[in-house]
Amino acid sequence: MTELNNSGEAQMPAYSEAVKSGLYAKRSGLLGKYDNVRKYWEDENTRIFLRPYLQQAIERAQSRMRRLRIVDLGCGSADGYELLSGIRFRDADLHQAQVELLSGDVLGLYKGVDLNQDLLEQARSLYGGDPKLVFQQADFTQGFLPADPDGPYDFFFSSFGTFSHHSDDETAIQLLCDIAEATEEHSFVVCDWLGRYSYEWWNLWTDCPRDLPNMDYVVSYIYDRAEREARRDSLQHLTLRLMSREEAEAIVGEAARRSRVSIEVRQFFDRSVFTGRHMDTGDYNPYAQPLRAAVNCLHESNLRTRLDDLILDYVPKPGFPFLNAYYEHLQMAWNALVKYTIELLNLYDERKRQFRSQPPPVPATYPSILREMMQRMRSIVESVGWLNSGLPRENIIEPQLGYALRYLTGALQQGRGCGHGLVGVLEIDKARPKTAGGRR
């Protein structure tokens, strides 16, 4: 196994190798960085979560006759720009053409910062022609950009576990203090960590996070099973901070105390509960099922999914009753929706364009969100099951089951560190009396 080394430079070969593998290229589908779960679940759920904050930041900037200025810390190949520019108005009508919040006249600047030159080059080759998009090499474990001529910024952004590269809390606290200082009046800060209690790394759950602040994260997920095992000894490893809500609040509180600026947690969000990348590798949980592969398949056009592969068998971990209760509740809801959809498909008569017999009623005792998703699946099967062209099961029903499951997991998440990612939105407001980083 590669020896652990926490420095920023030491972590870079992992990303360089990923770029060279070609699997960081935007091919999407069943495998690789931009697989279907990333595209249709993770990016979209992050967009939904960030929408109100981006909207507020835009309105605030506009009320001051300014355009929005964004800095993306750990931008990689500018995925953050793609993510943010895809955030849509909440209630956009079907007929509306302009649905994105971050239109050309709203954006002042997007600055991408990363330590990895290969990724920065990829970003420049994609966006270098746009003068509003600039990129700079810097190490964020050394603090925020000193003497940066491009600020002040309204939105300090990070995505997909980037804050977990602060394997020493001191560098995260210092960065937040620097951001507080660099903020002119008001800003939002998006911090994105690896969730401490993701089911993927069940082996690593602990009651005493101080004993295991970081995990040895192996970048095995970018390969399929055979290649992963063939390369096992040469796979890249990263040292990444695992984060729970309580630990994140402590970091923010300390930054607020030191900087003497109001830094408040607005909201936490668990992204990818049960569908993180290491569900498929099973590297940190002997009971992990390849659920991400199954969800990827749901969203792959022209490909039929074995829906039984979606049935979850959550294995409780002794000594963690609160986590077990949460996961078991979610598992029951998830499985109920999958099984109901399987039953709907079995009952549907494509020739007669109706169910052979009435599907079982949705129990009134089920959580309302689950009931809503079950009813939605029934409407979908009834509406398109008879279309015998265009592969209605593969291309309409299965992706809609994917969205229903996404909605369910999004609605039932608790922002505690139970997803692959824990995303936090912080608000810095220099006009507000200083607080110790509590939740609003």
Ligand X SMILES: C[S@@+](CC[C@H](N)C(=O)[O-])C[C@H]1O[C@@H](n2cnc3c(N)ncnc32)[C@H](O)[C@@H]1O
Binding site for ligand X (CB under 6 A): 8, 11, 15, 74-76, 79-80, 114-116, 119, 139-141, 159-162, 165
In sequence order, the 6+-apart residues with CB closer than 8 A to the CB of 388 are 350
CB of 218 to ligand X, least distance (A): 14
For CA atoms 215, 218, 221, 225, the dihedral sign is: negative
CB of 118 to ligand X, least distance (A): 9
Q: CA-to-CA distance for 3 and 103, rounded, in angstroms? A: 45
CB of 119 to ligand X, least distance (A): 5
CB of 251 to ligand X, least distance (A): 16
* Residue nearer to ligand X on the CB measure, 82 or 309: 82
CB of 18 to ligand X, least distance (A): 9
* Residue nearer to ligand X on the CB measure, 110 or 314: 110
| Interstrand relation of 155-157 and 68-73 (parallel, antiparallel or unpaired) | parallel
Query: What is 264-314 written as a DSSP string?
Result: EEEEEEEE-SS-STHHHH-SS-TT---HHHHHHHHTSTT----GGGG----
What are the CA-CA distances from residue 403 to residues 178, 189, 310 (Å)?
39, 28, 14
* Residue nearer to ligand X on the CB measure, 165 or 393: 165
CB of 268 to ligand X, least distance (A): 18
| Interstrand relation of 133-137 and 107-114 (parallel, antiparallel or unpaired) | parallel
Structure tokens at 267: 């909201």
Q: CA-to-CA distance for 271 and 112, rounded, in angstroms? A: 23
Helix (H, G, I), strand (E, B) or coil at 366: coil
The phi and psi torsions of 34 (rounded to 5 degrees) equal -100, 50
Structure tokens at 159: 């995505």
Contact 4, 217 (CB under 8 A): no
Q: CA-to-CA distance for 317 and 273, rounded, in angstroms? A: 16
| CA Rg value for the chain | 22
CB of 116 to ligand X, least distance (A): 4
* Residue nearer to ligand X on the CB measure, 53 or 348: 53
CB of 311 to ligand X, least distance (A): 30
* Residue nearer to ligand X on the CB measure, 243 or 337: 243
* Residue nearer to ligand X on the CB measure, 116 or 183: 116
* Residue nearer to ligand X on the CB measure, 114 or 264: 114
Burial of 166 (C-beta count, 10 Å sphere; 0-12/13-18/19+): buried
* Residue nearer to ligand X on the CB measure, 248 or 374: 248
Residue of minimal Cβ distance to ligand X: 74
Burial of 384 (C-beta count, 10 Å sphere; 0-12/13-18/19+): middle
* Residue nearer to ligand X on the CB measure, 19 or 288: 19
* Residue nearer to ligand X on the CB measure, 261 or 423: 423
CB of 39 to ligand X, least distance (A): 12
CB of 415 to ligand X, least distance (A): 19
The HSE-up count of residue 368 (CA atoms within 13 Å, CB side) is 0
Q: CA-to-CA distance for 185 and 430, rounded, in angstroms? A: 5
